[in-house]
Amino acid sequence: MKPASIAAQGLGWVDDHTRALAPPIHTSTTFIRDPDNQYRAGHTYSRDQNPTFDQAEAVLTALEGGHASLLFASGMAAATALFQALAPGDHVLAPRVMYWSLRNWLTHFATQWGLRVQFIDMSIPDEVRNAVQSGKTKLVWIETPANPLWTITDIALTCEIAHAAGSMVAVDSTVATPVLTRPFELGADIVMHSATKYLNGHSDVIAGTLSTREDSPLWARIKSIRAQIGGVLGPFEAWLLMRGMRTLFPRVRAACDSAQGIAERLAQNSFVDEVLYPGLPSFPGHAIAARQMHGGFGGMLSIRVRAKNGSATGEEAAIATAARVQLWKRATSLGGVESLIEHRASIEGAGTPVPADLLRLSVGLEERDELIADLEQALAQAHS
């Protein structure tokens, strides 16, 4: 089956006992041993072996084209499990512009455990070449497109540079999803998703995932960390995630189509200074995105709002624009069926690299023309 069919049919799995098409939810925390003291059914304790995980993990592994996948309680739980699997003193590279919560964690927590974290502009290959330390850099973390400026990193080239220095590469592919990019085919070793976003797609589950291209000692440590620390998903949440993944392909394709049209329209708006969207030919990294993203450029874009007359910056106008939308929802997160708008700098606070005039837009499944009209009226009112 092609990936879209794999997702829609959930690999074609049917419950063995009832022949039910929808999978059951297993709430049991523990499982019976065989008389000879073995666990031939494959499940011992539900903290890391709940049967409800199995289908979602198998589907994601098939979509990514990897060896195995693991569900976690959140995207942060998934990402931090990977970094915790490294050893004190290990050197890691991460992008300057990335998901803010993980950047904060790397800055304030990972360093306390002895990791040496260096932030660079991951979109510039020479910065990667100059920063990677042969035999010492154990992990290069990529996020592409990178939240919330949607910076594009060349995955294949970065993997080539990192692997030559003996480093593994992990890709946060939350925004691209397996619909648009398959990082393993470009050389990545680990793929992470905040499954809260597009994989689930309905703003009702907090979840994270890690997938690996091949089995390795690092992957064994990650599995142990999930089991020992207990950052696992509940069975009902795992069931909801699997249900959301069945519609992943049509949702992402629709969001990409609308986001492209919205970006092209807003690029002509006199109240917008800049549209940040990889699908625009003028966007830095567009050519790389076109090479490694297939079928669209994602459902996320940002706009930098022009300052009102007499204002030094566009911050006031940006906040006023968000206050005046009617169809878009003012909320944090992304990847759901509802279109969301957010003044991102307010969320990230002091030290954020995000411009104060930036609004982040997560395009949902509403009618594109209505989304455009709502933004246009809000921008006009904010500048009146």
Q: Give yes or no for a contact between 324 and 312, defined as CB atoms under 8 angstroms apart.
A: no
Domains of the chain: 3-245 (3.40.640.10), 248-382 (3.90.1150.10)
State yes or no: pLDDT of 312 exceeds 80: no
Confidence of residue 171 (pLDDT cuts 50, 70, 90): very high
Please list, residue by residue across 346-363, b when 16 or more beta carbons sit within 10 angstroms of its beta carbon and e when fewer do.
eeeeeebebbbbbbbbbb
Beta bridge pairs of residue 354: none
pLDDT recorded at residue 43: 85
pLDDT at residue 327 in the model: 98
Q: For tokens 């969301």, name the residue.
A: 340
| pLDDT tens digits for range 221-263 | 999 999 999 899 999 999 999 999 999 999 999 999 999 999 9
Parallel, antiparallel, or unpaired for β 340-343 and 358-362?
Answer: antiparallel
Q: Lowest-confidence range among 108-112, 258-262, 335-339? A: 108-112
pLDDT band at 351 (very low <50, low <70, confident <90, very high): confident
Q: What is the arithmetic mean of pLDDT over 340-357?
A: 91
End-to-end CA distance of the chain: give it in Å, rounded: 54
- Of the listed ranges 170-184, 187-201, 257-271, 300-314, the one predicted with least confidence: 300-314
Task: Say how far apart CA 285 and CA 295 lie, in whole Å.
Answer: 16
Task: Report the C-alpha gap between 90 and 180 in whole angstroms.
Answer: 32
The percentage of the chain sitting over the pLDDT mark of 90, rounded to a whole number, equals: 89
Query: In the predicted model, what is the mean pLDDT of residues 71-83?
Result: 97
Residue with tokens 């990082």: 183
Which active-site residues does the annotation give?
47, 99, 172, 197
Confidence at residue 353, expressed as pLDDT on a 0 to 100 scale: 87
Asked whether the beta carbons of 5 and 18 are under 8 A apart, the reply is no
Q: Cα angle at 195 between 78 and 191, to 5 degrees?
A: 55
Q: What is the pLDDT of residue 16?
A: 85
Task: Calculate ∠ Cα 46-47-52, nearest 5°.
Answer: 50
Tell me the mean pLDDT in the region 206-233.
95
| Chain segment 37-69, per-residue pLDDT in tens | 998 888 888 888 899 999 999 999 999 999 999
Give the closest residue to 273 by CA, choosing from 231, 235, 321: 321
* 129-162 tens-digit pLDDT: 999 999 999 999 999 999 999 999 999 999 999 9
- 3-state SS, one letter per residue, for the chain: CCHHHHHHHHHHCCCCCCCCCCCCCCCCCECCCCCCCCCCCCCCEHHHHCCHHHHHHHHHHHHHCCCEEEEECCHHHHHHHHHHCCCCCCEEEEECCCCHHHHHHHHHCHHHHCCEEEEECCCCHHHHHHHCCCCCEEEEEEECCECCCCECCCHHHHHHHHHHCCCEEEEECCCCHHHHCCHHHHCCCEEEECCCCCCCCCCCCCCEEEEECCCCHHHHHHHHHHHHHCCCCCHHHHHHHHHHHCCHHHHHHHHHHHHHHHHHHHCCCCCEEEEECCCCCCCCCHHHHHHHCCCCCCCEEEEEECCCCCCCCCHHHHHHHHHHCCCCEECCCCCCCCCEEEEHHHHHCCCCCCCCCEEEEECCCCCHHHHHHHHHHHHHHHCC
- pTM check: above 0.85: yes
Give residue-wise pLDDT tens across range 95-104.
999 999 999 9
